[in-house]
Amino acid sequence: MPGPMGKNNGAPAQKPKNFKKTTKKLIKNYLSKYKFAIFVVIIFAIGSTIFNIVGPKILGNATTEIFNGIVGKLSGGTGIDFGKVASILFTLLGFYIVSAIFSLIQGFTMTSVAQKLTYKIRNDIAAKLNKLPMKYFDKKTNGEVLSIITNDIDTLSQNLNQSITEIITAVCTIIGIIIMMLSISVTMTIISFVILPISAIIVKIIVGKSQKYFQRQQEYLGHVNGQVEEIYGGHTIVKAFNGEEAAIENFTKANNELYKSGWKSQFLSGLMHPLMNFIGNVGYVAVSVVGGYLAIQGKITVGNIQSFIQYNKRFTQPITQVAQVSGMLQAMVAAAERVFEFLEEEEEVKDPETSIDTSTIKGNVEFKDVEFGYDEDKIIINDFNAKVKEGQKIAIVGPTGAGKTTMVKLLMRFYDVNSGAILVDGHNIKDFKRADLRKMFGMVLQDTWLFGGTVKDNIRYGRPDATDTEVIEAAKAAHVHHFIKTLPNGYNSVLNEESSNVSAGQKQLLTIARVILANPKILILDEATSSIDTRTEIQIQSAMDNLMKGRTSFIIAHRLSTIKNADLILVMDHGDIVEQGTHEELLAKQGFYADLYNSQFDVEEAG
């Protein structure tokens, strides 16, 4: 793959941590299934190369024939035997055709192996994704996981496809060419081989030098890009604080460095081509001179010289190919390594074999001596006890970053408690199958999630078997029926991927309708509505009220005014539950909650 600056001239490649182990795994777990196909690939690759390599030798025969003919004509003979030349050329054509067919078969087989293999890895990854605990996703950014699924697999399939065939072809070509060259003339072969170490040394020197500058170039490119991104992103701040000159000065500094390293690395790698050419040409002259001498002596034919020069010219190609392929292999194994690492991640605790019937669940929730910490040694919820009866409203409040969502994550079993238990109607939530447990909960979150599809399908998401009438009923309860009616195709209107064709407020209402339809026993509501205008907000509030009727609800509250009538308020700070009780109890306590509540109305003494 080309780097950001043109060709791959010695730009550092990605290196795997453990080349051998990963390669073994790749062969054992995946490639071994395609033994036969890979065998076919190897045979046909070798065959294709052999037929291809013999080419110049045969072409040389044609040249000899023409040369002999011309010499014969000059000395009064019969001239060129065109019949013989034609038959030689047809043989050559035949060889090339066979070679092409072989290489086609080989390519076809290899591509299907690579594609099947990546298909399987992708499936494995998709299956794995659903088995990973939430902890994994907290550790890794979305970008990292996505990069494994897209980039790494892509690299794997592409490089696998190319590198295997190329390495076989390259090695065969090198061996074949050496044999052909030796068969023509040992002397000439030795001469052309003397050239090799010289060019190898030059390549090594240049690559070694340029590598350093390439690395520096990459580094400063990163700096420059980072600076541009930052300054562009903070444009208003730069302007508002008169920071333009400083920004330009900083940029010029980084740009200067980039210029210097870029100039050096590009110059050095640009030097490689002419130098290699020059050495190649010196070798070419030497071979021609010696070849001519040998031909005069009658040891070889004129056609032999031509074939030899052709072989000589083609010799460097497979060598550079091997160098390239080794880079590709490295990148491939590095990608495979990340993929395997991902596939070997620790999985969630398995679901219990037998599940509890959830149809009769009423929604009583009990927290019993619950202890929990994201880190084993950093317990943030200590010995938490609370009983929630069906239909009650529990509010979770606290400053930003207090860990309000922790409770939600525990309830839904995205995380397991360290000790103690959470009980639903007396059953430990660990005894439910995860899917069943999560079906009991309905969530309305700050970030609404709709998928590309019709409005109807989106509402029906939690209960695919719902009838149209039920969907409409749910929409009405969520105050979104009227809005849907105004859409061009009503309930069959298609939402696009980002659902940018509906406003944030309408999205929220649609998700509420979805939860109403799914009819869960327990609700989890994140009632942040800060990005929504007032009228929609009132609608959402009223839709939420409809939703909460007769259901146990956990509300992550941002506005304290809405939770005054909650049956239980959990006050969180720094991840810990610091207080619990009803609004009145907590106010009477004069503690953290009272502080939080009163701070809302602190009078600003401006002026």
Partner 1 sequence: MISIISIMLPRASVSARRINEVLETEASIKDKEETKKFVEDKKGYVEFKNVSFRYPDADTEILEDIDFTAKPGETTAIIGSTGSGKSTVVNLIPRFYDVTGGELLIDGVNVKDVPQKELRKRIGFVPQKGVLFSGTIESNIKYGDASMSDEQMKKAAEIAQATDFIERKEKQFKSEIAQGGNNVSGGQKQRLSIARALAIDPEIIVFDDSFSALDFKTDSKLREELAKQTKGKTIIIVAQRISTILNADQIIVLNEGKMVGKGTHEELLKNCEEYREIAESQLSKEELEGGAN
Minimum distance from residue 580 beta carbon to partner 1 (Å): 19
CB nearer to partner 1: pick between 554 and 597: 597
Distances in Å between the alpha carbon of 541 and those of 18, 445, 577? 56, 13, 26
For residues 432 and 358, the answer to whether their CB atoms sit within 8 Å is: yes
The residue among 74 and 603 lying less far from partner 1, judged by its C-beta, is 603
Q: How far is the CB of 598 from partner 1 (least distance, A)?
A: 9
- Give min distance, CB of 425 to partner 1, in A: 34
On the 0-12 / 13-18 / 19+ scale of CB atoms within 10 A, 406 is: buried
Q: Which of 558, 553, 562 is nearest to 572 (CA)?
A: 558
DSSP 378: B
Would you call 3 exposed, middle or buried from its count of C-beta atoms within 10 A (0-12, 13-18, 19+)? Answer: middle
Give the nearest distance from C-beta 201 to partner 1 in angstroms.
27
Q: Minimal distance in Å, beta carbon 120 to partner 1?
A: 35
- Minimum Å distance from CB 237 to partner 1? 5
Nearest to 563 by CA among 572, 573, 553: 553
Q: For residues 114 and 407, which CB has a smaller minimum distance to partner 1 in the complex?
A: 407
What is the rounded CA–CA span in Å between residue 149 and residue 123? Answer: 10
Which residue, 304 or 539, is less far from partner 1 as judged by CB? 539
In this structure, the dihedral spanned by the alpha carbons of residues 274, 277, 283 and 286, taken in order and rounded to 10 degrees, is -80
345 vs 132, 139, 339, 567, 596, CA distance in Å?
A: 7, 12, 10, 41, 42
Q: How far apart are CA 547 and CA 513, in angstroms?
A: 9
Q: What is the separation, in whole angstroms, between the first and last Cα of the chain?
A: 64
Q: Report the distance separating Cα 97 and Cα 91, nearest Å.
A: 10
Furthest-apart CA pair in the chain: how many Å?
127
Nearest Cα to Cα of residue 176 among 310, 64, 295: 310
We find the least distance from the C-beta atom of residue 374 to partner 1, in angstroms, to be: 16
Listing DSSP states for 70-131 in one string gives HHHHHTTS----HHHHHHHHHHHHHHHHHHHHHHHHHHHHHHHHHHHHHHHHHHHHHHHHHH
Cβ closer to partner 1: 74 or 606?
Answer: 606
Q: Which is nearer to partner 1, 78 or 400 (CB)?
A: 400
* Cα 199 off chain centre by: 38
Closest to partner 1 by CB, 75 vs 142, is 142
AA identity, residue 149:
I
d(CA 446, CA 519): 20
Residue 388 β-bridge partners: 365
**Closer of 144 and 230 to partner 1 (Cβ):** 230
In angstroms, rounded to a whole number, what is the distance separating the alpha carbons of residues 158 and 9?
20
Choose between 142 and 561: whose C-beta lies nearer to partner 1.
Answer: 561
Q: How would you class 154 by CB atoms within 10 Å of its CB: exposed for 0-12, middle for 13-18, buried for 19 or more?
A: middle
Q: How far is the CB of 23 from partner 1 (least distance, A)?
A: 34
User: How many angstroms separate the CA atoms of 478 and 466, rounded?
Assistant: 16
Cα distance between residue 509 and residue 533, in whole Å: 13
Q: Which is nearer to partner 1, 515 or 560 (CB)?
A: 560
Query: Helix %, strand %, coil % for the chain, to 5?
Result: 65, 10, 25
Six token digits for residue 69:
């003919």
Residue 551 or 583: which CB sits closer to partner 1? 583
Residue 399: CB minimum distance to partner 1, A: 3
For partner 1, the closer CB: 275 or 504: 504
Whether 367 and 422 have beta carbons less than 8 Å apart is answered as yes
- Minimum CB–partner distance for residue 509 and partner 1 (Å): 16
Distance in Å, CB of 535 to partner 1, minimum: 7
Could you tell me the smallest distance in angstroms from the CB atom of residue 602 to partner 1? Answer: 4
E strands, 353-424, where?
365-372, 381-388, 393-397, 419-424
Least Å distance between CB 558 and partner 1? 9
Residues that bind partner 1 (CB under 8 A): 226, 229-231, 233-234, 236-237, 239-243, 246, 398-401, 530-535, 537-538, 541, 559-561, 564, 595-596, 599-607
**Comparison of 189 and 499: residue with beta carbon closer to partner 1:** 499
In angstroms, give the least distance from the CB of 515 to partner 1: 22
Nearest distance, CB of residue 541 and partner 1, angstroms = 8
Closest C-alpha to 122, from 144, 152, 163, 158:
152
**Closest CB to partner 1 among residues 29, 446:** 446
Q: How many CB atoms lie within 10 A of CB 385?
A: 11
Residue 165 or 536 with smaller CB distance to partner 1: 536
